[in-house]
Structure 1
Amino acid sequence: MRRAAMFCLAGLAAFAVGCGGGDDDGGGDSAGGPSGETLTVWNNESQPDRMTATQAILDDFTQKTGIKTKLVPVPEDQLATLMTNAAAAGELPDVVLATPLDQSQQYALEGIFDADAAQAVVDKLGVDTFSKKALDLVSADGKATGVPSDGWGQLLIYRKDLFEKAGLEAPQSLDDVRAAAEELNGDGMAGITLATKPGDGFTSETFEHVALAQGCQIVDDGGKVTFDSPPCVEALRWYGDIASNYSVSGAQDVESTRGTYFAGKAAMMFWSPFLLDGMAGLRADTKPSCEECKDDPAFLAKNSGLVGPLTGAGGTPSQFGSVSTVNISVDAPTEDAQKLAEFMLSDGYVRWLGLSPQGKYPVRAGDSSDPKKFQTAWAGLESGVDTKAPLTEFYSEDSVASLADGVANFQRWGFAQGQGALMGALRGEQPIASAVADVIGGKDPAEAAKEVQSTVEEIQSGLE
């Protein structure tokens, strides 16, 4: 056995096949493959239902190829720490599923992920079968740092019924959001529930969505840090004003913002499309609790609108989004790991997307037999956990179609300017989320922007 397991994640071990690679356990009966080794597979989609579904896909892979796997759940917010520890111990996983875009770039730069191996998989499957946007975002120096698998675009979710009652049109700009938040705030209803927790990735993602609309870029085309620019200062000012005056007080995060909206206590929120099944009453663990939801669990879904790109002072509609990747580590038995990556993007692809189709839009449209094969299959997938149903049963066809538009057109800081590794490094530091919290606490936005500028410049210099 090439490596032993380094750790087990408490509370999640029941859903993993084990905590590391080995030839004496895992799926299948044959050692199989060129190496005869078991592939250690980390999965960032560590929820119990998704782990179970992923294991079924891996079991089929083993049956087809004879290559055994060992599946380990890795919560996304723990990936950086666990990867650092694994690299230091010389016990890297072989394959990592659902890696966030910025960390795919970061770990390729650090010599943890094998870009050559990933690019070879993309080439074999067909470059033209992948979204150009997705490939551009995951690539560095002309190579894919990971095999792009799926993506999502950030949404402004708003109460259509409350907007209609107040005579408000669907929000299309940051000015619209502010006006609606002011109009609908009060009487036990927050105008918007906004992420504000310092040092939190969800706060950073939400702010980036707003900042992109304001025309704020963290670096310019030459890679120079520009966070002290007027558009970024204005984005901090806008965010601080809305959070202070029309949102829920206290440090709000991914759970509390969803909880407030699901309780019917907020007119708007920014969130990823991953919550659409829960908002439709299809998940027992995140069911809406609003008064109207007692009679109709799907009340919020039926009475919520979805807005992707927003316009701000920048003048161009913009939307934050993310692409996930399948990554191969530099220590993996390359041929075996590539076979798994190929399987996840072909025979196992539709089932992988089906883990949470509302937040996993295919960035590989089809194959040589049918250029739209996977997009067509995605459209027929059912969302939910405890109850399954197509999204179109609760949301308009235009809203569901907008999920695809978001993946095709969203933007991200730094990647177009060749600063993907910097974005990955910032994920661990989270200086922007902390600046947001400072502004909400009363700090001058220009001063907060200068502090972020200095921090980002220092991190960037450390990567050179």
Structure 2
Amino acid sequence: MAAISLSVVLGGALLTACGGTPQQGPGLVVWTLENLPDRFQATERLTQRFTEQTGIPVDLVAIDENQFSQLVMSSAAAGKLPDVIGALPLTSTWQLAGNELLDTAASQEVVQALGPGTFSGRALELTRDGDRQLAVPSDGWAQILVYRKDLFAAAGLAPPDTYDRITEAARRLNQGEMSGISMATAANDAATGQAFEGLAVGNGCELVGDDGAVALDSGPCRNTFQFVGDVAGNYAPPGAQDIDSTRATYFAGRSAMIVWSSFLLDELGGLRDDALPACPECTADPEFLARNSGVVSAIAGPDSAEPAQYGELTSWTVQVGAKREEAKKLVEFMMGEQAYPEWLAMAPEGKIPARRGTAAEPDKFTRAWESLPAGVDTKRPLAEIYPPETIAALRESPERFSRWGFEQGQGVLVGATAGEMPVPKAVDAMLGGSTPGDAAGEAAEEIRSIQTSLR
């Protein structure tokens, strides 16, 4: 049996040995950013099973994402990097790559062993830098636009999958206590940047061009700022909105649309007691809001011929200096038939599989994912709550994930800008009175300054 050590973040404190730096043990040292107690325990069960089958001990450590950057750099300086990291977001993956802390050949070998064709092609692209496979993509969550199907049908409105349709619906449904749309706009909320980027990529707005030059003040980006300023400034609740207030507004039945992540869906379905729908109709019919909500996964703006969708992708990485062969075995196990479905089962609404199946059964894992119970206090498969078209849109979303900067090799810049939040600050300033053009220009200049500091 593996000796498992737990370092869980409680109240913002990282409880680790020796001043906060995880120590190398006799077996594999594995960091996981799935640090919530129930998810850590699920990972622990899987690593224990791995040890029972292989005899390779695992020292499992839970890491808070907000402290990851500082912790990994201090560990690298001390020569005490973990062997494997799991549930690593794209920005963190690219940060490690930029600091040459990834064994990219090991990741490539794992992908080859599992079969490149069994993965989402888009997921592999987002975790690849030229011919280097930086990480083994595992799963992700999708940004979605959820809307009131009943209100749209009554008003004769088409699903809000373009800028024009979103604007028209927000304008017409913004009546009385009903806001047309609810989306994050607070300057200090990462959800504001995520919402903006999700709308931006659908309009051909990129953070940087193919030449690496900052492009946030381009025509498509200025038009995205204009669009956000229009709908959020005229048809959303007054004041700065954050991830919690937007959900509360939609759940209270006081918003016709909401931009959120797919993590909304279990809560919308009444599966989490501390975030239940509270619309007037929900008292007698708890599933009213879920039944009357539609989901748009990809949005198109006027400057783009194709719709696109924002999403976050998490991966497994092997670090330089790792116990290489043992580390590869662990990642292959976690992405294989014995462990992968259980990994996805931690939170199916936010763990959409990036590995679709096996060579023998190409859709094995996506089929399993559809039947996994979601929720916290109540457990039900999402497919029992939402129609097949919604489940299909979620299932296929990793193939549409579009993100700023990664394809241009600017993942380190993306990570740095996420910390400084230039786009959320620009959105907040625009809604406070600056013009969309000024907002785009100010955000672009701040990002250029960040880019210069990284050279």
Q: TM-score, normalised by structure 2?
A: 0.91
Q: Which amino acid aligns with 1:334?
A: R
**Superposed counterparts of 1:25-424, under 5 Å:** 37-314=26-303, 315-346=305-336, 347-424=338-415
| Separation (CA, whole Å) in 2 of partners of 1:273 and 1:391 | 11
Determine helix, strand or coil for the equivalent of 2:211.
Answer: coil
| Separation (CA, whole Å) in 2 of partners of 1:17 and 1:407 | 37
* Deviation of the 1:106 alpha carbon: 1.8
Determine helix, strand or coil for the equivalent of 2:416.
Answer: helix
Q: 1:435 aligns with which of 417, 426, 433?
A: 426
| C-alpha contact (below 8 Å) 1:194/1:248 kept by paired residues | no
| C-alpha contact (below 8 Å) 2:24/2:80 kept by paired residues | no
* Deviation of the 1:137 alpha carbon: 0.7
Determine helix, strand or coil for the equivalent of 1:154.
Answer: strand
Q: Which amino acid aligns with 1:318?
A: A
| Separation (CA, whole Å) in 2 of partners of 1:349 and 1:316 | 32
* Deviation of the 1:168 alpha carbon: 2.0
Q: Which amino acid aligns with 1:378?
A: W
* Deviation of the 1:306 alpha carbon: 0.2
Q: Output one character per residue of 1:282-328: Cα deviation in whole Å (capped at 9) or x when no partner.
A: 12232222232223332221110000111211242121122211122
Q: Structure 1 residues 161 and 14, CA, compared in 2 at 3 Å: closer, same or farther? A: farther
Q: Which amino acid aligns with 2:359?
A: S
| C-alpha contact (below 8 Å) 2:14/2:63 kept by paired residues | no
Identical-residue share of aligned pairs (%): 44
| Separation (CA, whole Å) in 1 of partners of 2:76 and 2:243 | 29
Determine helix, strand or coil for the equivalent of 1:227.
Answer: coil
* Deviation of the 1:84 alpha carbon: 4.0
| C-alpha contact (below 8 Å) 1:130/1:364 kept by paired residues | yes
Unaligned ranges ≥5, structure 2: none
| C-alpha contact (below 8 Å) 2:14/2:64 kept by paired residues | no
Q: Structure 1 residues 318 and 368, CA, compared in 2 at 3 Å: closer, same or farther? A: closer
| Separation (CA, whole Å) in 2 of partners of 1:390 and 1:7 | 31
Determine helix, strand or coil for the equivalent of 2:107.
Answer: helix
| C-alpha contact (below 8 Å) 2:7/2:63 kept by paired residues | no
Q: Structure 1 residues 150 and 6, CA, compared in 2 at 3 Å: closer, same or farther? A: closer
Root-mean-square deviation (CA, aligned residues, Å) is 2.6
Q: Which amino acid aligns with 2:288?
A: F
* Deviation of the 1:82 alpha carbon: 3.6
Q: Which amino acid aligns with 2:389?
A: D
Q: Which amino acid aligns with 2:199?
A: V
Pick which of 127-136 and 421-430 moved more: 421-430
Determine helix, strand or coil for the equivalent of 2:380.
Answer: coil
Q: Structure 1 residues 12 and 54, CA, compared in 2 at 3 Å: closer, same or farther? A: farther
Determine helix, strand or coil for the equivalent of 2:427.
Answer: helix
Determine helix, strand or coil for the equivalent of 1:211.
Answer: helix
Q: TM-score, normalised by structure 1?
A: 0.89
Unaligned ranges ≥5, structure 1: 24-36
Determine helix, strand or coil for the equivalent of 1:219.
Answer: coil
Pick which of 72-81 and 313-322 moved more: 72-81
Pick which of 363-372 and 137-146 moved more: 363-372
| C-alpha contact (below 8 Å) 1:61/1:340 kept by paired residues | yes
